[in-house]
Each structure stands twice: as structure tokens, then as C-alpha cells.
Structure 1
Amino acid sequence: MTTIDKVLFTGKTHTTYGRVPTAADHGNVNLALSAPGHADLDQQFTAVAAHPTAEQLFAGAWSACYITAIGLIASQKRVTLPADTSVDIEVDLGQSGAAWLLAARFEVRIPGLPQDVAEKLARAAHEICPYSKAVKGNIDVAVNVTTS
């Protein structure tokens, strides 16, 4: 797989898992996202530019899907996720020679769970998240899981 030599832009999102809608307003884009079939789950997508880029929109949609997948896997395994579970995704647009590429970095935070349990949830979520499956093998994706 080709990796990015020169990053041209990075789209960033912060998505929280919770049952009560919350929103942080940075004066730009603030969208409440929903998970089809899971009306009790609400996500937050806050962009960092007045007009979101494709990378920000992709990261926002991916993060909403991915955090919902974490919740689904946790439910199936009877693991209670803490209210402050979150996912930060950065999607880079860049080049390697003449090729245009994407890459992504995930920062998954599941405070209070054992590290191995949190990592298993994060890995399993990538196996069922349609966005993760769509890019598998096509772009570099780095995942860091923290429990503190």
C-alpha cells in the first residue's frame, strides 16, 4: 500500500457516545448525527472550518458509524460503555509523487475498561463498520486505544 509523503490537508472530528444529545459549538459546523435503528444513540460531529471539507465530512460520517459499531459490539458482549467514550478521527489528504491518497488516524477513548477489552471492541468495530470495511486495504488506518 502506498503511503502519503506530503500531507496537504487534515479533516478532524470528535465524536462522543451517549444517550443524551450534547453539542459543542465552535461557531462553525455542529451537526447531531443519528444511527439508523438506534434512536437512543446520539453522536456529535463538530467540524473545524466554516465550510467543511470532504475529509471532514468523511471523518464525521465514519466516526458516527464507527462509534455506533463500538456500541453494538459492546452490547453484544454485555460490556457497558462509559458515557465519556469518544472517537477522534483525522483523515489526511496527501500525495505520494503524482498520486493523491487518503490516510486516517483513530484515537479511541473508552475510560475505565481494561485495555485488552477496549482494544477488542475497537478491532471488532472495524470488522462491522461499513466505512472501515470500504477502505480496508485501500488507505492507511492507524488506531490508538486509551482507557484513561
Structure 2
Amino acid sequence: MSALYTAVGTASGRDGRGVTTDGKLDVKLGLPVEMGGDGAGTNPEQLFAVGYSACFASAMGLVAKKMKLDVTDVSVTAEVGLVPNGQGGFSLEVTLRVEMPDHITAAEGEKLLAATHQVCPYSNATRGNIPVTLVVE
């Protein structure tokens, strides 16, 4: 199968610049204060958090439609942590917090999250590689 879409981006490191070939993304990258930087630029974890939350919300829309649920007002927040892996390197951990509309019950929300986690490309890419915690709020 061929890709439906391919994004192409280039970065010069954590303390530099990141751009896409189509020019739609051009960001200053910088180390967060917690890692000794001045916090002036964005960082890969922030970009991953926004990408994952956007992708998960979109996937949820597809799944919810099949389940006949309205998630128009859903909000997905991704918390991406950078953690030492104990071998001199680093790993990521993710918590996805999904604020459900009031009309969706807790049981429906849990079922929707579990099904979305099986559909979302980010979830499929991270499964078995990093811990991802799903939280219905």
C-alpha cells in the first residue's frame, strides 16, 4: 500500500530550527528550562504532544461516528514526558487526557477511548514502545 500522505520535515537539533518542505511549519527549537535551556523555543516533546493529541482527536471522530456518538466538543490533551531509560539514553511516556462531552457516559467514554487507541496512527506507532495511559475526564 502506498502512503495517503507523507510529511517531510528537517531539524538541526534540539536547539535550532525545524521546518517542513511545504513551508507550513517553521519553528525555533530550544531546550526547555528543565533541561538547562532558556525555554525560548519549542521542543520535540511539545511537537509530539500536539501531533498526538490532534491525531487522536481526529481518530476519535471516526470511531465515534461508527459508534453513533457525538464528540464535537471533545478535547484531547497529550502529556509527553522525557524520561531517562537507565542505559544512558531517554524514552518517552505519554498520558492522553480526553475531556468528553457531558452527554457521553463514563462507560461509553472508556469504550470510545479503547477503540480509538486501536485506530490512531500515533497509538499504533507507539504501542509496545512507550507507555501510553488513557484517561477519561
Shorter-chain TM-score bucket reads 0.5 to 0.7
**C-alpha separation in 1, matches of 2:120 and 2:40:** 28
Aligned equivalent of 1:54: 44
Q: In the alignment, residue 63 of structure 1 is paired with which amino acid?
A: S
What's the counterpart of residue 105 of structure 2?
Answer: 114
**What is the match of residue 88 of structure 1?**
77
1: CA distance between counterparts of 2:131 and 2:68?
31
Amino acid at match of 1:95: P
Q: CA deviation at 1:111?
A: 2.6
Give me the CA root mean square deviation.
Answer: 1.6
Q: Which residue number corresponds to residue 95 of structure 2?
A: 105
Conserved in 2, the CA contact under 8 Å of 1:82 and 1:110? no
Range with greater deviation from structure 2 (122-131 or 73-82)? 73-82
Structure 1 gaps of 5+ residues are: 1-28, 30-48
User: TM-score when scaled to structure 2?
Assistant: 0.66
Of 128, 131, 140 in structure 1, the residue corresponding to residue 122 of structure 2 is 131
TM-score after normalising by structure 1: 0.62
Instruction: Return the structure number with greater relative CO, CA threshold 8 A, min gap 6.
Output: 1
Who is 2:131 aligned against?
Answer: 140
What is the one-letter code of the residue matched to 1:141? V
User: Which structure has the bigger radius of gyration?
Assistant: 2
Aligned residues: 98
